[in-house]
């Protein structure tokens, strides 16, 4: 039999093992409650605890502290169209971008649903806005599974010593709501109204002003853009795209030649084929157009469509030589519709093709220059229009 001391030692060993197991379970539970299962980011509960500590540090040392709240635009629509697995992939893609585009001492977390929060110590309003703009730009050009581009809205706020830590988080949510009301895909600072981006009607006025400028610069280009617009809308709806995406593509179709305002009249109005050097200058209009549109708040996604409007399905286009579904769907639609209208219009150096010849040309290059599905829908819409029927609703 074991002696008393041996039994006590054995009991102490069992108690130590039990304590170790309890500590292990507590750590696992804490990790589960502080780490989001889908994205691997911190949970909102953990961020709130960290916010309290960082707010105290900011008060004590007089340092800046900013909070950003981000939300995925059209997330429910993407889940409805592609499934919940695609939604999880969007969330993971956003999480990776947040980790890559923030500093080691910043804290990113997943909030409710498709919302994310970033805590940025020692960061003022300007620095927080620059960080969020980088994130939005990165995600705009990032594919998430079946979704070709992730668009987000963001609201930011700076902690004031006189307020509670929870108040700055609330101010960031107010700013986010303002971003959503302005159409999304933008960064808004709050609650100071002077810090917010221009109202949605100002953005639309800017689009209209650019369209007028384009028409005055080159009458053919302006009229051409207007006529392509109807074809583009019919094809986009025929492909089942949602209203917000259709509106973005229509804006891009209206302004897809805006970069030509920077091309000289000698090249733009030349009677005859362009030389190699002239053609190189002309090809720059897509990049110029993107720069013009990115200068207007809220038109980042439209600018991306314009940049890639001359990319080919087989990767032989410009300016970046991307191929297939890496090309924004709006760019693919505009390319095909633009080509049809150009082929059926008289130009200084050639006569217009017939409708049948243009359709045959589109079909011949489907799968190389053009997206086959886009060509199929475009030809169907043209048939309906020529038969006098209304285009099919999405």
Task: Give domain limits for the chain.
Answer: 42-196, 202-386
Query: pLDDT (tens digit, 9 = 90+) per residue, 161-215?
Result: 888 888 898 889 888 988 887 777 888 886 544 443 444 555 555 666 666 565 5
The 3-state DSSP class for residue 116 equals strand
Q: Are strands 107-110 and 115-121 parallel, antiparallel or unpaired?
A: antiparallel
Helices (H), 74-124: 75-82, 84-101
Name the CATH code of domain 42-196 (choices 3.30.70.270, 3.30.200.20, 1.20.1260.10, 3.30.420.40): 3.30.70.270
7-16, 86-95, 188-197: range with lowest mean pLDDT: 188-197
191 prior amide bond cis, ω within 30: yes
* pTM score, whole prediction: 0.58
Predicted pLDDT at 380: 92
Residue 385 has pLDDT above 80, yes or no: no
Q: Which residue has the higher pLDDT, 58 or 221?
A: 58
Exposure letters 334-351 (e unless 16+ CB within 10 A, then b): bbbbbbbbebbbeeeeee
What average pLDDT does the segment 252-256 reach? 88
Nearest to 307 by CA among 316, 297, 322, 296: 322
Inter-helix orientation angle 355-364/372-386, to 10°: 160
CATH number of 202-386: 1.10.3210.10
Q: What is the pLDDT of residue 333?
A: 96
- Which pLDDT value is given to residue 394? 37
């Amino acid at each position: 039999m074991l002696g008393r001391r041996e039994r006590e030692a054995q009991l102490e060993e069992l108690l130590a093992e039990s304590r170790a197991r309890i500590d292990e379970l507590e750590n696992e539970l804490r990790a589960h409650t502080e780490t989001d299962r889908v994205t691997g980011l911190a949970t909102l509960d953990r961020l709130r605890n960290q916010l309290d500590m960082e707010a105290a540090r900011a008060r004590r040392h007089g340092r800046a502290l900013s909070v950003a709240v981000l939300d995925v635009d059209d997330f429910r629509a993407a889940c409805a169209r592609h499934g919940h697995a695609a939604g999880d992939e969007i969330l993971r893609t956003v999480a990776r971008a947040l980790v890559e585009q923030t500093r080691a001492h910043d804290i990113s977390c997943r909030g409710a649903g498709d919302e994310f929060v970033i805590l940025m110590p020692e960061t003022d309003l300007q620095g927080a806005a620059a960080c969020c703009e980088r994130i939005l730009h990165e995600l705009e050009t990032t594919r998430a599974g079946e979704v070709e581009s992730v668009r987000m809205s963001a609201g930011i706020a700076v902690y004031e010593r006189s307020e509670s830590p929870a108040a700055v988080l609330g101010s960031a949510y107010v700013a986010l709501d303002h971003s959503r009301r302005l159409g999304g895909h933008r960064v808004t600072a709050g609650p100071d109204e002077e810090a917010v981006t221009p109202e949605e009607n100002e953005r639309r006025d800017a689009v209209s002003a650019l369209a007028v400028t384009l028409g005055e610069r080159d009458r053919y280009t302006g009229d051409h853009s207007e006529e392509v617009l109807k074809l583009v809308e019919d094809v986009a709806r025929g492909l089942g795209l949602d209203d917000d995406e259709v509106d973005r593509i229509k804006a891009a179709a209206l302004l897809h030649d805006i970069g030509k305002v920077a091309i000289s009249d000698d090249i733009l109005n030349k009677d005859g084929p362009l030389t190699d050097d002239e053609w190189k200058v002309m090809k720059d209009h897509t990049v110029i157009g993107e720069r013009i549109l990115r200068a207007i708040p809220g038109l980042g996604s439209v600018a991306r469509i314009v940049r890639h409007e001359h990319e080919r399905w087989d990767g032989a286009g410009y300016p970046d030589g991307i191929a297939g579904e890496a090309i924004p769907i709006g760019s693919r639609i505009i390319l095909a519709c633009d080509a049809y209208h150009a082929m059926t219009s008289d130009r200084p150096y050639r006569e217009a093709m017939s409708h049948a010849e243009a359709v045959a040309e589109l079909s011949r290059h489907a799968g190389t220059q053009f997206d086959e599905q886009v060509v199929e829908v475009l030809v169907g819409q043209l048939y309906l229009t020529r038969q006098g029927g209304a285009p099919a609703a999405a």
